[in-house]
A and B are shown apart, each in its own frame.
Chain A
Amino acid sequence: MVAAAMAFAGVEETESEGIARALRRKDSEFIGRLVARYHYRLLRYLVYVTGRRERAEDLVQETWLRVLERSGQFDGRLRFEPWLFSIARHLAIDDSRRRQAVPESEADGEMAASDSVSPFVAAARNEDALRVAGALGELEPIYREALLLRFQEELSLEEIGRVVGAGVSTISSRIQRGLGILRSSMKGENDAR
């Protein structure tokens, strides 16, 4: 009825508004499609934030369950992606704190059992990518996520700021710093040639 009334009034419903409405109504069909559509991007974001493939896989499901719980908070006036990523980020931070509280011996065991190859290196398909992947593995997560959100997700600085809870100038300097480190990794290769 709402969609019909909007169409009648000549007001186009935006994609974000459609998502907000489906989430509020717990429309399982639509939500299933949404999960499938964002799976790769959410997984990739979580890999960048955690630096660990296995953790990222675990957090994807938790993120969607949290999205359902908080569906009333998303009104569709802004884009869906920043909201989704900010939920994922909070979960990743909570998860990291929980893991830091685990006694060192248990954490070591878990480390040894998990990703032996950096997920970034595993994702590299050419020489340049391998260089960048190596640098990404060393980079602090705040710089990695800023690079991902800017250059792969193509979010604006304001949107990135909403995801990470920082100002535009902070985000800009994180991107520039991260880019500088990636460039250095490429330059190393250039110098070696």
Chain B
Amino acid sequence: MHGELHEKARRLWDRSLAEGLAREEELWLDGHAAECAECREYGELSQRAIQALDSLSFEVDGAAAARVESVVRQRAMEMKSVEDRRARVGAAAAIVLTIAGTRLAWPAAAWLAGQWHLPAPAWEMAFGTFWLAPSVLFGLVMLFRERLTGETI
């Protein structure tokens, strides 16, 4: 019976350090530890092991750390420059495709509007809204992506 209590106390000690205990378990463990020197020592030993673990201190090579920082910064700048170039190419492609597409789509839209007897201002406005505006918007977003996603932190 006594052995079972010690076993329970040690299990709780381990669990309290790994994940924490419920309030009642904590109270029980405190009560038991107050009376049982062996289990108290078990808990103290665990705490000492954690403190010793915490005291391990690895020396840092400052030059190596600075080198890593510089390489990573350089890589970030390169990646940013590639992404910016892609965005500019994307915006230019959107503009070129919009102009080329418009040259083809405009006569087709005019012909369709004639077939459906639509007044010129109405179909021209619809053409602008559904054909031109999305392309222009896409091009603008690509160009000003930087400002839209936030300033430097």
Nearest CB of B to A31, in Å: 5
Asked if A27 is an interface residue, CB under 8 A from chain B, the answer is: yes
Q: With A25-B80, A125-B57 as given contacts, are A39 and B68 in contact (CB-CB < 8 Å)?
A: yes
- Whether B80 pairs with A60 at a CB distance below 8 angstroms is no
Check A93 for interface membership: any CB of B closer than 8 A: no
Contact B55 A61 (CB under 8 A): no
Complex CA distance for A134 and B35, rounded to whole angstroms: 33
Bound state CA distance, A22 and B59, in angstroms?
Answer: 29
Complex CA–CA separation, A119 to B150 (angstroms): 42
Cβ–Cβ contact A26 & B15, under 8 A: no
Mark B76-87 against chain A: 1 for CB-CB distance below 8 A, else 0: 110110010000
Query: A74 on the interface (CB 8 Å rule)?
Result: no
Q: Is the CB of A128 within 8 A of B48?
A: yes
Max count, chain A CB within 10 A of own CB: residue among B17, B69, B74: B69
Which of B55, B57, B76 contacts A28 (CB under 8 A)? B76
- The answer, yes or no, to whether B151 is at the interface (CB within 8 Å) is yes
Q: Can you name the residue of chain A whose Cβ is closest to the Cβ of B79?
A: A26
Considering only residues 1-54 of chain A, those with a C-beta below 8 Å from chain B are 1-4, 18, 21-22, 24-32, 35-36, 39-40, 43-44, 47, 53
Q: CA separation between A60 and B71, bound complex, in Å?
A: 11
In the complex, A124→B53 CA distance in Å?
A: 9
Interface status of B120 (Cβ within 8 A of chain A):
no
Is A123 an interface residue, CB under 8 A from the partner? yes
Q: Return the chain A residue nearest B144 by Cβ.
A: A1
Interface residues in chain B, defined as those with a beta carbon under 8 Å from any beta carbon in chain A: 14-15, 17-19, 42, 45-46, 48-61, 64-65, 67-77, 79-80, 83, 146-153
Per CB-CB distance, the 6 closest pairs between chain A and chain B, nearest first, are: A26-B80, A128-B52, A2-B150, A182-B49, A132-B52, A175-B18
Of the A-B pairs whose beta carbons lie under 8 Å apart in the complex, a sample of 11, sorted by A's number, is: A2-B149, A2-B150, A27-B76, A27-B153, A35-B69, A35-B72, A36-B69, A53-B58, A68-B75, A128-B51, A182-B52
